Structure 1
Amino acid sequence: MAKIVNISEIHPTLGFTEFDILEKYRKSFNESELGKLHSVFPFECMAKAAGLSDRRLGRRNRFSPSAKIALMVLKAYTGFSDRQLVEHLNGNIHYQIFCGIMIPPSLPITNFKIVSAIRNEIASRLDIDSFQELLASHWKPYLDNLHVCMTDATCYESHMRFPTDMKLLWESLEWLYRHICRHCRELGIRRPRNKYRNVAESYLSYCKKRKRRAS
């Protein structure tokens, strides 16, 4: 089991040599792009807004509340998968400083699913409105033209799927039949004879016979 500790907890126990080495790492971290990114996030306030707290009873969390938020920011920044993120976190001291933790080289994290567990925990508690208000107030000194409202097109949901030819054909028939019914109703005329119901039954039978792939 990985023995993860918060950096703030090990400072009093470090010897002079180890302390100097850690301070050199911290200095290089603060001068790096990752350190500059860390400085603009109020991780403690974000963890509090998300309702994250250290459990006083039961098994102790490997990551502190602020470390969980930092880990999710780090994942979005790097674009790594959960497995890749854990692998880099084990060996990159700057990533560990970003999350405020220290992972002994002899006891690395082996369970990469801890990332998805943290993500699910935050998602179950996340309140987007309060987070936006918190970040807006924290980033206000860095923002210009506050009277201008701009929206990135990538913020809108996209719907991507990979339908079969049969599915596309059936959706076309559904669309056509729906419009025929509407136009006939608006014009007050009878609908032309068709075999839509027979085709619908055949398509339903086809769907039931399809092999379902395990997700």
Structure 2
Amino acid sequence: MYRRPTGQMVIEDFLLPFEGKLDANNRWVKLAKIIPWEQIENEYADLFPSNTGTVAKPLRMALGALIIKERCGFTDRETVEQITENPYLQYFIGLEKYQIEPPFDPSLMVHFRKRLDQKIIKKINELICQSEKHKEQKDKDPKDKDPKDKDPGNPSGSGNFEVWKPEVNKGKLLLDATCAPADIRYPTDLSLLNEAREKTEKMIDTLYNQELGLARKPRTYRKRARKDYLKFARQRKPHVKAIRKAIGKQLGYLRRNLGTIDFLLKCDGHGNLSARQSRELETIRILYAQQREMYQTRTHRIDDCIVSISQPHVRPIVRGKARAETEFGAKVAISMVDGYAFIDHLSWDSFNESLGLKQAVEDYKKRYGHYPEAVLADQLYRTRENLSFCRKHGIRLSGPPLGRPPLDSRREKQFAHQDMRERNAVEGGFGVCKRRYGLARIMARLKETAESVIALQFLVMNLEHRLRLLFCHFICAILKTYKDQNYTVYAVI
């Protein structure tokens, strides 16, 4: 059940327990002004079709708490503590007055991330960027324009007749992809099998009880298996044969444990596995089948390879970077326009980002009403299909042309150098998102919450970019005022 708020509150309505008012120039107050809460409310209210049950938390409280967490890098518990202590944060999440009690339990943060999934966060990001676009267009329109002014294409001067003009491509679209690594241990075949063996041993302990009527508890050889694993783990540079021998032993122990679990599940009166253990058991069965197939075929690659038992959705992403050739997490393809980042595609499986160029260009036209003048991307995007698509719509795709280079390539080199400089913006966006907002390590465990966190981090980065633009507009307005009054302005660097 969800109740729509009667109206979005303003800073003057927030009540403090002491005399005074909130500062309108505070960063959280400014941030609350640029978020279209009422438009987002319509998307959030549709998630609660029922009119019965407990009333859900308002959209502003849910989204505001998630933005605070990602912007400041807090944990769920620390986020609630900071909101309880700070009146500006309480205003940001929509409370009408300051309160000393926590507005909600920290466990609700998980439900907020599930409710506001990746798709909804992407829509919110679009609404915020579109509101900035409409504001810029409104500022550019002349205020004293008379609709009856004569137009060269409308000699009579009646009505609002507009002259048809051919569509002109404007703006530049930046494309790139990166990986958002998950918070997992670096996976090896032997470490995964050892972890699976230990978990199955705990499952056997849970399922077995004396009422089953068995003469003795089934053997697991856990001490011997642990000893074999530690014997291998202490080797600094193990040989290939030693690795294969250790993997074979762990596969044998795991096969025996899985057989014991199947036997105990068939017996009447066995213990019950928890929901988490049941999910892990299904993952371990798949892991065992994959490892056995690679062991028998003597290969090191398999489709949908499991690299974490607790997060089975995580997949290896081969990036070929100097720091890490392979990363384990979600792959994200984004497009950037004027400093605003949009998620084009997010997947836990590896994909070729060049296939999304057409859709990214069409999304650009849907947002801004025209195609971009140029698409700045790396060499991977310069396929024949993409080049043909860009040529058809009059779009310049960055990079050298296919075929033999021309004799005089100075102009192409100048374009390539300029494109490389401008494309640094998207690389810088990745760096800011990874260093500042936690994209370098996604701490969320569930698949849907991890996707929500990734989308939130790009949303917060866009909000920060818009705050900087507001500050720049403020400085420009002050300088313009001084210039109109014939004051001399000195810049101190």
Q: Shorter-normalised TM-score: what interval? A: 0.5 to 0.7
Aligned residue runs from structure 1 range 29-44, under 5 A: 30-44=24-38
Distance change (3 Å), C-alpha of 1:35 and 1:64? same
Instruction: Name which of 126, 130, 137 aligns with 1:133.
Output: 126
Taking the aligned partners of 1:99 and 1:44, their CA distance within structure 2 comes to 13
Identify the residue that residue 60 of structure 1 maps to in structure 2.
55
The answer on 1:91 being equivalent to 2:88 is no
Deviations 1:14-39 (A, max 9, x none): 9xxx68968712xx1x3111222222
What amino acid is aligned across from residue 32 of structure 1 in structure 2?
N
What amino acid is aligned across from residue 137 of structure 1 in structure 2?
Q
Distance change (3 Å), C-alpha of 1:55 and 1:166? closer
Taking the aligned partners of 1:58 and 1:121, their CA distance within structure 2 comes to 16
The answer on 1:204 being equivalent to 2:251 is yes
Distance change (3 Å), C-alpha of 1:21 and 1:107? closer
Taking the aligned partners of 2:6 and 2:78, their CA distance within structure 1 comes to 23
Contact 1:52 1:65 in 2 (8 A): no
Taking the aligned partners of 1:128 and 1:59, their CA distance within structure 2 comes to 24
What is the root-mean-square deviation in Å for CA atoms of aligned residues?
4.6
Identify the residue that residue 335 of structure 2 maps to in structure 1.
none
Contact 1:82 1:115 in 2 (8 A): yes
Identify the residue that residue 68 of structure 2 maps to in structure 1.
74
Aligned-pair CA distance for 1:88: 1.0
Deviations 1:76-101 (A, max 9, x none): 21211100011111111100100111
Aligned-pair CA distance for 1:103: 6.7
TM-score in terms of structure 2 length: 0.28
Contact 1:90 1:108 in 2 (8 A): yes
Higher helix content, 1 or 2? 1
Higher strand content, 1 or 2? 2
Deviations 1:32-85 (A, max 9, x none): 112222222112212323435697433223x31232222222222121110001
SS of the equivalent of 1:101 reads coil
What amino acid is aligned across from residue 205 of structure 1 in structure 2?
G
TM-score in terms of structure 1 length: 0.57
Larger gyration radius, structure 1 or structure 2 = 2
Identify the residue that residue 181 of structure 2 maps to in structure 1.
158
SS of the equivalent of 1:156 reads strand
Q: Flag the structure with more relative contact order, 1 or 2, with Cα contacts below 8 A and sequence separation at least 6.
A: 1
| Contiguous gaps of at least 5 residues in structure 1 | 1-5, 169-196
How many residue pairs are counted as aligned between the two chains? 170
Q: Equivalent pairs: percent with the same residue?
A: 21
